[in-house]
Homo-oligomer: A and B are copies of this chain.
């Protein structure tokens, strides 16, 4: 098992578990915070816009949004001018989640990086950015071993 892929995967799983626990304290599933963050940034986005911002597919957003409408954090309304479009809007409860959820994410970031010096953190960000950019480029270019394009850019 290749070293970086293994370590990155294990770290990802651990970080996700921590983030899941942190979000759960606010009644959220991991991932819902990303959808909310997109609306905190600009309320009234369409599922397609959110999907692009969060780097998932539209059906993923639609399904998640359905549960979040039920939970009372967002509402769904058709666009006034284009009947194909639906727009998602934060409720007061959804707005109220912003400060505690962002604080929880910041706290988690501080906790997991507490063991790094400033230089180590900078080197980690720099190297990880290179890996991310390389991986992203591989995803968007046709591969020599197949006839079809790679899958679309995946980001989370």
Closest B residue, CB atoms, query A124? B127
Choose, from A44-52, A63-71, A72-80, A102-110, the stretch at the interface: A102-110
Decide if B37 touches A1 in the complex (CB within 8 Å): yes
Complex Cα–Cα for A11 and B7 (A)? 13
Q: Is the CB of B132 within 8 A of A4?
A: no
| A13 on interface, CB distance cutoff 8 Å | yes
Q: Given A2-B108, A16-B154, A18-B138, verify A120-B123 contact (CB < 8 Å).
A: yes
Residues in B whose Cβ lies below 8 Å from that of A155: 10, 13-14
7 contacts between A and B (CB under 8 A): A4-B121, A8-B12, A11-B135, A17-B150, A17-B151, A112-B134, A123-B124
Residues of chain A whose beta carbon lies under 8 Å from any beta carbon of chain B: 1-5, 7-21, 25, 37, 55, 105-106, 108-109, 111-116, 120-121, 123-136, 138-139, 145-146, 150-151, 153-156
